[in-house]
Amino acid sequence: MAKTTTGKRLKRKDRILDAAEALFAKHGFDGVSMRMVADGASVDLALASYHFGNKRGLFDAVLLRRAEVLNGTRLEALEKCQLEAGEAGPTVEAIIDAFLKPLLAHGYQEDEGWRHYFELVAQVNSSPEWGGPLMTKYFDPLVRKFMDALKKALPDADPANLYWSYHFLSGALTLTFAHTGRIDQLSDGIAKSEDMVGAYERMVPFVSAGFRQLCVPGTKE
């Protein structure tokens, strides 16, 4: 009986997280109430409050749940490319590939929950209120490992140029996550915002070239 009860509680907790994720992605933090989440998950409001306390606690739990999965996958990709490169270290392209492939070409885009999560991350990363503290908390420890790898790959880079290059990468990535549909309209359907694999295949060489242009002395025009 205890196992069954625990299983039901876990299932309901996941339903609450799934409903909150979809609602936060669509309406933002301020546009969602705990009542909306409870109704979306088909649970009592008291149960949502019991598991997460308040809306901010729920919001943090939504961000953390998939961040842990993503960070683990990306760290594994970085360590793999470093191991394969040996003492010389991986190229800029290999590092950017390890950073982007787990997000854009790992099959996550086929899951509605992951699409909601990426849309939510796009909101958070672009928000003056949330972007700094939340992205720093959940993603910066891993990003610093990638930055260390890039510093080794680009040893003569001006540090400011290196960090601006990452900033531009982050912006391009989160705009891609947002699935605004603008590229569909602008290209008359030639390019589609839902084509995450296509975005990944183009973003790796595009971003790598940008890093080299800014960070390798003598390449500026």
- Closest Cα partner for 142 from 205, 204, 68, 86? 68
pLDDT at 94 over 90: yes
Q: What is the mean pLDDT of the chain?
A: 89
Mark whether 78 and 1 lie in a shared domain: no
pTM (2 d.p.):
0.85
CA dist 116 to 142, 186, 218, Å? 22, 23, 42
- 186 CB-contact burial (10 Å; exposed 0-12 / middle 13-18 / buried 19+): exposed
User: Are residues 40 and 70 both part of a single domain?
Assistant: no
The reply to whether 193 falls in a domain is yes
Structure tokens at 59: 């919001």
Which residue type, as a one-letter code, is found at position 81? C
Judgement on whether residues 207 and 134 belong to the same structural domain of the protein? yes
Answer positive or negative: Cα dihedral of 132, 138, 140, 141.
Answer: positive
CA 9 to chain centre: 28
Same domain, 33 and 83: no
Asked whether residue 58 is assigned to any structural domain, the reply reads no
Domain CATH code at residue 105: 1.10.357.10
Q: Do the domain assignments include residue 190?
A: yes
Q: Looking at the structure, do residues 137 and 88 belong to the same domain, yes or no?
A: yes
Q: What percent of the chain has pLDDT over 70?
A: 94
* CA nearest to 95, candidates 81, 76, 105: 81
On whether residue 221 sits in a domain, the answer given is: no
The total number of structural domains in the chain stands at 2
Say if 201 falls within a structural domain: yes
Residue 37: is its pLDDT beyond 60? Answer: yes
User: Are 20 and 107 part of one and the same domain?
Assistant: no
Q: Looking at the structure, tell me whether residues 45 and 95 fall in a common domain.
A: no
**Do 30 and 71 fall within a single domain?**
no
Parent domain of 23: 1-53
**Within-domain flag for 97:** yes
109 and 4 in a common domain: no
* Residues 182 and 73 occupy one common structural domain: yes
Q: Residue 123 and residue 116: Cα distance in Å, rounded? A: 11
Residues 47 and 74 in one domain: no
Q: What is the pLDDT of residues 100-155, one digit of tens each?
A: 998 887 777 778 888 899 889 888 888 877 777 888 888 899 999 999 999 999 99
- CATH number, domain of 1, equals 1.10.10.60
